[in-house]
Amino acid sequence: MKKFITLLALVLTVQIHSQITGLSGWNIVLDPGHSGQENMGIHNYSEAMKNLYVARHLRAFLLDSTDIDTVYMTRTDSIQVVGLSQRSDYANSIGAAWFHSIHSDAGSATSNTTLMLWGQYANGQEKVPNGGKAMSDIMIGNLTKGMRTNTVYGSIGDCSFYGCTSGGPYLSVNRLTNMPSELSEAGFHTNPRQNQLNMNYEWKRLEAKTFWWSIIKFKGAQRPYPGIVAGIITDSESGQPINGAVITVNGRTYTTDTYQSLFYKYSNDSTLLRNGFYYFEKVPGGNQSISVSAPGYDTYNSTVAMSDTFFTFRDVALVNAMPPYVSGIIPAEGDSLYPGVNSLQITFSRPMDTASVNAAYSFSPAVVSAARVWNANERTLTINTSAFQFGTQYTLTIQPTAKDKYNHPLDGDGNGTGGDAFVHNFSTRVPDAIAPKVVFSYPADMANVMEKRPVINLTFSEPIKTSSLSGKISYINTSTNANIQT
């Protein structure tokens, strides 16, 4: 029993020591903007809901980890409908020390900037009591870095931002509150990427963390070791976030949101929504192992160096595990080509390790030194056929030692499993000894044409290499022998 009490005392001591001091005698009103499902985002997740969860996380951070007197909320759920003046009336009635209003922005789908708006009068002076500007100046940096986006106006007085001809501040929550105040805009809920991130539970914790760090700095306290690693898992080729990826850090796992776990709430399309976001707290410092796996992808294994001062971001682009296959070939199976005129063209499903392909293909009967060229994306190989025999059946074989850029062996038969050869039969045509000739012309030879500008028409007995006609056709005025330029 003695041992237990000692241990308990130790735990309590540790808790007291880990608490951030300097907020005692102070309190704050957190104001999650809007009510219910107001300000719906582009993918059906509302700003109001995002704001509520950010406020709840921030309240927990402040109450659990600092000596703040208390944290008030202007609403605590998504059912209450709270008007603008009710929010400021509430803060004024309790004589709160601070008012922080939490929002996100709306506009074009490509915009995703951050913004801090502090109370300002039409004459440009900061609202009295002062403080909103100083807090905003701290918050804007943490918020923008945390969201990993940019800001256009940064921390700005609301009258400068919206324009006030008299009075001010512009925003109700700045104008009607009696205490220092500010309002945050964390990106745009009309931005598809941001709106899908907003759906994630821990993403809202990340936003709250940026405010928490800002508030304790404003109150003169040191930021504790963050211990947070977060990032976005994407497909290396498409760039699309991956649902259901499993991230393991320091022995703990996090699975990115899926349709079944989350997105079904916001869409009937099971493939539409994705954010690829993961987030770990309480990760020890130094180098930590990280692995990422997802069905159909190669597993990623690495280490991550934890930041002592901010979030540690580690985005991972997973490589699709699908083996490469031949997705197109000219001539087709059983078809033919004319040696020296038609090339042999092989297209692969993925970028290839070209040296491995060059060493892996052969022809039967053998062809000596056929020139070849790879296109820029390293997916298409074009082989010159000048060295091929006429009138011959050829078999092209590409051994599974041919690999893609990611070291996956060729899937010759295209059944989804790599490691087998690609075999392709084609033939070469017999030599064409007959020269092309003109079989029809308009106007006809020696014809007397009444048209002012006849369209001259020549028809050949077989397809012509059109580039070979260049400079070969001339028009002569037979009465003057003048060469008519065309």
Question: Which spans of this chain sit near Zn ion (rule: CB under 5 A)?
Answer: 33, 103
DSSP state of 35: -
Q: How far apart are CA 225 and CA 372, in angstroms?
A: 57
Task: Tell me how far, at minimum, the Cβ of 175 lies from Zn ion, in Å.
Answer: 16
Q: How far apart are CA 165 and CA 122, in angstroms?
A: 6
53 vs 426, beta carbon nearer Zn ion: 53
Q: Burial level of 407, CB count in 10 A (0-12/13-18/19+)?
A: exposed
Task: Tell me how far, at minimum, the Cβ of 51 lies from Zn ion, in Å.
Answer: 7
Q: How far apart are CA 156 and CA 37, in angstroms?
A: 28
Q: How far apart are CA 127 and CA 119, in angstroms?
A: 5
Q: What is the dihedral of CA 151, 157, 161, 166, to 10 degrees?
A: 180
183 vs 352, beta carbon nearer Zn ion: 183
33 vs 226, beta carbon nearer Zn ion: 33
DSSP string, 279-306: EE-S--SSEEEEEEE-TTBPPEEEEEEP
Of 397, 417, 419, nearest to 409 by C-alpha is 419
49 vs 96, beta carbon nearer Zn ion: 49
Task: Tell me how far, at minimum, the Cβ of 189 lies from Zn ion, in Å.
Answer: 8
Q: Which helix (H) or strand (E) holds 252?
A: strand 252-255
Q: How far apart are CA 427 and CA 408, in angstroms?
A: 30
Q: How far apart are CA 343 and CA 177, in angstroms?
A: 77
Number of helical H runs and strand E runs in the chain: 9, 26
Task: Tell me how far, at minimum, the Cβ of 103 lies from Zn ion, in Å.
Answer: 3
Asked if 30 and 55 touch (Cβ cutoff 8 Å), the reply is: yes
33 vs 339, beta carbon nearer Zn ion: 33
Task: Tell me how far, at minimum, the Cβ of 73 lies from Zn ion, in Å.
Answer: 16
Task: Tell me how far, at minimum, the Cβ of 105 lies from Zn ion, in Å.
Answer: 8
33 vs 241, beta carbon nearer Zn ion: 33
103 vs 403, beta carbon nearer Zn ion: 103
45 vs 263, beta carbon nearer Zn ion: 45
**Alpha helix segments (H runs only) across 148-222:** 158-162, 172-175, 192-198, 201-218
31 vs 353, beta carbon nearer Zn ion: 31
Q: How far apart are CA 50 and CA 206, in angstroms?
A: 12
Task: Tell me how far, at minimum, the Cβ of 74 lies from Zn ion, in Å.
Answer: 13
Task: Tell me how far, at minimum, the Cβ of 88 lies from Zn ion, in Å.
Answer: 15
Q: How far apart are CA 212 and CA 223, in angstroms?
A: 9
Task: Tell me how far, at minimum, the Cβ of 33 lies from Zn ion, in Å.
Answer: 4
Give the nearest residue (CB) to Zn ion: 103
